[in-house]
C-alpha cells in the first residue's frame, strides 16, 4: 500500500509544545493525508484497507473523498 500525495510546502515545519498530544508525544503524519500539515490528525485510518502492492490517489488528497488505484505505478519493496 502506498499513495500519491501532493505537497505544496517547500520548507520545514516548526513544532511547538501545543502540538504535543495529551500523552506528551508528537505525532508526525507519514500517510500524507492529514489536513493538519505535518501533524497526524487520524486521517491515516482511511488507508486501513489499502491492498499491498497498490498505489492509490485520493481525490484532492482528501481521506474522506474518492480514491482510485494508479495503474502502472509500482512501489518498492513492500
Measured torsion, CA atoms of residues 18, 21, 38, 53, in degrees rounded to the nearest 10? 180
**Given 44, 54, 57, 75, the residue binding ligand FES (CB under 6 A):** 44
> What is the Cα–Cα distance from 59 to 62, expressed in whole angstroms?
6
**Given 2, 3, 43, 58, the residue binding ligand FES (CB under 6 A):** 43
- Confirm or reject binding of residue 2 to ligand FES (CB under 6 A): no
If you ran DSSP here, which 8-state letter would residue 28 be given? B
Residue numbers 47-76 binding ligand FES by CB under 6 A: none
* Residue span binding ligand FES (CB under 6 A) among the ranges 3-11, 14-22, 33-41, 66-74: 33-41
Alpha carbon of residue 73 to chain centroid: 18
Kind of pairing between the strands at 2-4 and 67-69: unpaired
Residues that bind ligand FES (CB under 6 A): 29-31, 33-34, 40-44
Amino acid at each position: 500500500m502506498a499513495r500519491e500525495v501532493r505537497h505544496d510546502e517547500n520548507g520545514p515545519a516548526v513544532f511547538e509544545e501545543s502540538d504535543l498530544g495529551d500523552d506528551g508525544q508528537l505525532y508526525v503524519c507519514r500517510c500524507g493525508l492529514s489536513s493538519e500539515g505535518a501533524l497526524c490528525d487520524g486521517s491515516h485510518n482511511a488507508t486501513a484497507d489499502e491492498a499491498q502492492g497498490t498505489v492509490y490517489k485520493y481525490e484532492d488528497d482528501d481521506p474522506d473523498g474518492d480514491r482510485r488505484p494508479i495503474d502502472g505505478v509500482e512501489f518498492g519493496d513492500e
